[in-house]
Amino acid sequence: MKQKVTYFIVIACLLFPMQVRSYETDLLPVMQSSMPPPSLEVSSWVLMNPSTGLIIAAENPDDRVEPASLSKLMTAYIVFREIRLGNITLEEQILISENAWLTGGSRMFIEPGERISVENLLLGMIVQSGNDAAVALAEHIAGSEESFAGLMNQVATELGLKNTNFVNSTGWPHPDHFSSARDVSLIAAAIVRDFPGMYRYYSIPEFTWNDITQRNRNPLLGRDEDVDGIKTGHTEGAGYCLVGSAKKDDFRMIATVIGAESARYRADAVYSLLKYGFAAYGKRHIYASGTAVVDSVEVYKGESSTVAVGVTQAVQLIVPKSSRSGIEAAVAINEPLIAPLSERQQVGNLIISITGKEVASYSLVTLSAIEEGSWFNRVLDSIRLRFR
């Protein structure tokens, strides 16, 4: 019968104030900062760390809202994915349809019958928020915007979005086209995480097409050198919306504001959330991906008598900067380990606790394969196991 053997490792000294906030968060009370987030006059907002997916603070994050042009984040995500899959290329030329040309709202000012590269259409959609560019890309990938909307909803399910339904590629108002501040933030986080090379498009300050130069609609670009994205949106029903992202060293924050009363207020609101996040929280690295957590765990009936076990993903926590009390790691191994063992075979769990409260769990795996030992070693270890 397998037994769990537990090791305890003290990792750091940190202090986590036990305070409950009125705002919503994915952080446990033990991990919350004593600094309250800013009070905002908007319908909903979210402050997120994209590398962990943690909601640091939020108000009404799951309320259904009209996402306006923030919908183009999903359109871009799908285009990026199609490029990575090899289904299209940045240089590929797209024939512009009359339907795309006739699209209303913000425009790149493409012309029907033009052939435009995927990359230029991406720039027109991302920098200029061109609805016409979004429709052209949607038609090229799925044959029609309606079919592309079906693909958007499929990807929304894959990304775990709970309060989102797309009807078009642009965010044009429709009663069945909706999302939430949390879901929009998750799409933005997916772009940052899955397509870091493509994410650079969101920091381009301006783009010219057909002799018409339009500046990036994100007013936070240039206000702060740490801000590098990401997307604005506005309709009468949605109000003024903005997803902003900034990075200090290797710590990134995403802030989403929905339903602001003005373009100026949405920018100030997002900026205040980003500044709050960096002032109140930091990222603590516990273990890097592939790092040995226990260097030597006993193995029976193998060509080697021990194996190192570790984690396959980075172990990191978002913590208040003011913290000082202890983080503990409990390593629970499903012993005895009996060869053969494959590389990256799960053999236990790493449990991270703060002041006695569990905050995260990670699989522990073998960092090398262990083949069966000789006949003599197997017999000897069988006897040893009887007397464990």
Q: How confident is the model at residue 3 (pLDDT cuts 50, 70, 90)?
A: low
Residue 157 has pLDDT above 80, yes or no: yes
Angstrom distances, CA of residue 101 to CA of 104, 105, 196: 8, 11, 30
Residue 385 has pLDDT above 80, yes or no: yes
Mean pLDDT of 66-74: 97
Residue with more model confidence, 290 or 247: 247
pLDDT for residue 104 is more than 80: yes
Residue 10: what pLDDT?
A: 44
pLDDT exceeds 60 at position 258: yes
The answer to the question of residue 37 being in a domain is no
Quick one: 202 and 54 in the same domain? yes
Predicted confidence at residue 5, as pLDDT, reads 54
Are residues 12 and 90 located together in one domain of the fold? no
Give the range of the structural domain holding residue 184, as residue numbers without chain letter. Answer: 42-260
Selecting among 43, 69, 179, 245, the annotated active-site residue is 69
- Same domain membership, residue 191 and residue 75: yes
**Average pLDDT value for residue range 111-129:** 97
Considering the domain architecture, whether residues 58 and 137 belong to the same structural domain is answered as yes
**pLDDT at residue 344, rounded to an integer:** 95
The last residue of one of the domains, among 260, 276, 295, is 260
Is the pLDDT at 290 greater than 50, yes or no? yes
The answer to whether residue 69 is catalytic is yes
Task: Tell whether 166 and 67 lie within a shared domain.
Answer: yes
pLDDT for position 323: 67
With 0-12 / 13-18 / 19 or more C-beta atoms within 10 angstroms meaning exposed / middle / buried, residue 295 is exposed
- d(C-alpha 177, C-alpha 167), whole Å: 5
Q: How far apart are the first and last CA of the chain?
A: 11
Q: Are residues 243 and 291 in the same domain?
A: no
Q: Which of these ranges, 29-33, 71-75, 115-119, 378-382, has the smallest mean pLDDT?
A: 29-33
The residue annotated as part of the active site, out of 71, 106, 129, 169, is 129
Check whether residue 94 and residue 146 sit in a common domain.
yes
Q: Which residue, chain included where needed, has tokens 């986590």? A: 16
pLDDT given for residue 319 in this prediction:
84
The burial of 109, by beta-carbon neighbours within 10 Å (0-12 exposed, 13-18 middle, 19 or more buried), is given as middle
How many structural domains is the chain composed of? 2
Instruction: Specify the range with the lowest mean pLDDT, choosing from 134-148, 157-171, 286-300.
Output: 286-300
Residues 208 and 244 in one domain: yes
- pLDDT (average), residues 37-55: 94
For residue 16, what pLDDT is reported? 34
Residue 233 vs residue 250, higher pLDDT: 233
- Check if the beta carbon of residue 308 is closer than 8 Å to that of residue 327: no
Q: Is the pLDDT of residue 253 over 80?
A: yes
Q: Are residues 103 and 56 in the same domain?
A: yes
Known catalytic membership, residue 169: no
- Whether the per-residue pLDDT at 94 is higher than 90: the answer is yes
Cβ contact 292:274 at 8 Å: no
Burial class (CB within 10 angstroms; exposed 0-12, middle 13-18, buried 19+) of 76: buried
Q: Which of 44, 72, 179, 301 is catalytic?
A: 72
